[in-house]
A and B are shown apart, each in its own frame.
Chain A
Amino acid sequence: MHFNLPLFPEQASTIAGQVDAFYLFLVLITTFFSLLIALLILFFIIRYRRRPDHEAEQIHGSTLLEIVWTAIPLGITLCIFVWGAVLYYRIENPPTNALEIYGVGKQWMWKFQHPGGQREINTLHVPTGRPVKVTLISQDVIHDFFVPAFRVKQDVLPNRYVYSWFEATKPGSYHLFCSQYCGTNHSAMIGHVIAMKPEDYAEWLASGKAEGSLSSMGEKLFQEFGCTTCHRPDSGARGPNLQGLYGRPVRLSDNRVVVADDNYIRESILNPNAKVVQGFQPIMPTFQGVVSEEGLIQITEYIKHMGTQESEPINNRSTPTQLRDNEVPMIQQELQQGGQPAPSGKKP
């Protein structure tokens, strides 16, 4: 039996210290008010204890006091809200240069894929000093990706990508828990995140037996499933050109504009009629049941890297989906002014 009694998990990420500081603040407030009430009560039950000659003073109330002890807690809770919201914003929004890793949760294990194709089960190696964004999806029920030492947590849903990001600061091995009850072996769906110094991480990557990078595996699937039949850069193509697509706004047949993110790509493969690109017919068949979650991840990686060799996306008649470069700022302004930005992943 372990006899040391820690109160905090290790602080192993850039955000951990900030979360702990917020926690301390909250604990202080809780302790302060709890003690205040407790001591007041203690004082009152002694000072005003029942004595034979002693009568209670019938006090109606005090509106001023009511206002004060409504306003002060309200002020404090608003501060708590703001601090919490700012911290949350930082926890939820990864920097753009994050290393992208993919995770698939299933009953009852975690499967991770690195961009270079390395795969892991229940363990996740990451470098320190670099933001890592883990894109997650479940194969069955809702799971949850929880690394206490990093202070991050994200429910992992079936049929929809979500992500969690962190920047590890200290090399070490940290608990990874599934923290959304998922059936029989929920408490066994655990593992470790192993943070390594960047040199060690590079070594580890090189030593692993990868079949090829995620992107190259995706390219194979792209060809195997016949995607190239329609998705070509030439003008007669029946499907939109995918080069340079990732991350750009796309106009749909009903005039909505959405951003082509991971969820958009996944949905387009599994449920092509949900969002049909303007200027194209809804003829794409569904690949539901044909391609696995890992396969989807690999194809998405491939699409992400399509067109990154060229410096500009192709703009020709065959790509009406691609908004012209001169259109993009206008659309982005439209989006900012409260037309729906519609990142197809998060839902209200």
Chain B
Amino acid sequence: MSTSQTTTTEHHPALAHQFDSMAQQQGASTFGMWVFLLTEIMMFGGLFAAYLIYRIKYYDAFVAGSTSISVSWGFANTLVLIASSFTMAMAVWSAHKGKRGPLVGFLIGTMILGAVFLGIKGKEYYDKYDECHIPGHVIGKGFNAWGGCSVNNPGLGNIADEIQQHAREAGVSVPEASAMQTARQTEIFFSFYFLMTGLHAFHMIIGMGLMTWLLLRSRRGDFGPQYYTPIELGGLYWHFVDIVWIYLFPLLYLISRHKGAI
């Protein structure tokens, strides 16, 4: 994190009354953001721990579930987010260098990439809705992973069939009852899929809100080399949300994929 903000002898307009110097303010603010991110790690951590425990308990079902979500779109999203972290880092650099134009540009870029991420996520959610993989029976068409989703297209979202098919390709025969049972258990996988990616997406949306506010302030000329702490803090938050995805992607999409198809 850059620390080369200089303190001026006069009262910088952005210096809050409780602080003695801009350096103290900047140090305290970034420290505060790190502590906040620590709390977020604890929150996601609890969710990840529960996910891992159920993965061990329902291993086959989780493998089947992982296989049924699109690794291509997930990978695309990973690239999008990493790119957005890059644009965010460039925004912070621009602010540090006092370049307002690039700052605004990179913030916009970050927001565009964030929107792309959310759009792809929306598409993935829609696919799951279509395939009747939304758990529970309150939202969506009602969970059905064994062929009863669409009358016209019995293969849609039919995880039971996929399990049997993969087994056949591996030279093993899995009877229908067994595949049905595993398919039923994928509902827990999808519960966690939606909870984890949903919580993450919720944080992304909050991030988009933060970016909007930072964008408006940047355009107004609030930031310069002496003071760009909010941009720094926004950057920290954005990077954090990116890192959560870096953990989510392998845990949800990639683990044990070699045992499934694609």
Contact = CB atoms under 8 A, between A and B. Distances in A.
Interface of A: 271-273, 281-286
A255 to B, nearest CB: 14
B162 to A, nearest CB: 16
Contact of A272 (B60, B174, B181): B181
A281 B176 CA distance: 12
Interface of B: 60, 173-175, 177-178, 181-182
B182 A281 contact: no
A284 B173 contact: no
A273 B181 CA distance: 8
Main secondary structure of the interface of A (DSSP, over half): loop
Contact of A283 (B60, B175, B182): B175
B182 A273 contact: yes
Nearest to B173: A281
B45 to A, nearest CB: 19
A203 to B, nearest CB: 47
Nearest first, the 5 A-B pairs at minimum CB distance are A285-B177, A282-B178, A283-B175, A273-B178, A286-B181
Contacts of A282: 174-175, 178
Contacts of B182: 273
A273 B178 CA distance: 7
Contacts of A272: 178, 181
Nearest to B167: A282
A31 B177 CA distance: 63
5 contacts: A272-B178, A272-B181, A281-B173, A284-B177, A286-B181
Given A273-B60, A273-B182, A286 B175 contact: no
Contact of A271 (B174, B175, B181): B181
A47 B173 CA distance: 87
Given A273-B60, A273-B182, A286 B173 contact: no
A329 B60 CA distance: 31
Contacts of B177: 283-286
A283 B178 contact: yes
Contacts of A284: 177-178
A36 to B, nearest CB: 40
Nearest to B53: A347
Nearest to A286: B181
Contacts of B178: 272-273, 282-284
Nearest to A276: B178
A210 to B, nearest CB: 35
A271 B178 CA distance: 9
A225 to B, nearest CB: 14
Contacts of A273: 60, 178, 181-182
Contacts of A271: 181
A285 B178 CA distance: 6
Contacts of B181: 271-273, 286
